[in-house]
Amino acid sequence: MTGGEDQSRRLGGFDAAGRRWVLGVFGAGGALAGIVLPYLAGLAADLPWFPFQGPLQLLGSFDQAWLVWLRPAVGLALGLAFAIWVIHESPVLHLTSREIRVERRGEVQRVIARDKVDAVFRRRSNVVIQTASGRELFDDDVEGDRDEVRDAFVALGYPWEGPPG
């Protein structure tokens, strides 16, 4: 038994600080959009060459006092809903020397046996796992430090290709 067989690593997902950051950014962005979009729509509706004049005029007409407060609240709610979706759809990889379990929403989506993995590398922000024939077993964005992701695969004996990180 080698030292890597007893180890397991968890990669991806959001920690508590990351979840707060995503919720804050998307929530604030949604609230800001609720404030700014009707004004921008009103300006665009005044341009005769701009498409979708009818919907833009409708959106720009939301200027009643009660809507001034409701628009940011609706934008905040939509931003938070999108943030929750992003957090729950972020893949989590559980690595051992025998397999990689890919989880989303707390459920195992697939299990990749170690003997099927011939290459692991980064393509932009995505982690790509391939077979010897070049078939991609996994290609998705994995949250976390680039060096930590590489080190986790290398420590368990997976064939990392390309530059470190």
Cα separation, 131 vs 118, in Å, equals: 5
Tokens of 57: 């005029």
Are 109 and 103 in contact by the 8 Å Cβ rule? The answer is yes
| Averaged pLDDT, 44-53 | 84
pLDDT for res 4: 43
Cα separation, 119 vs 64, in Å, equals: 59
Structure-token match 């609720």, residue found = 34
Q: How confident is the model at residue 109 (pLDDT cuts 50, 70, 90)?
A: confident
Of 13-22, 57-66, 102-111, least confident by mean pLDDT is 57-66
| Averaged pLDDT, 110-131 | 92
Rounded to two decimals, the pTM is: 0.74
Cα separation, 1 vs 4, in Å, equals: 8
List C-alpha distances in Å: 121 to 36, 101, 158: 41, 17, 10
pLDDT for res 164: 61
pLDDT for res 28: 98
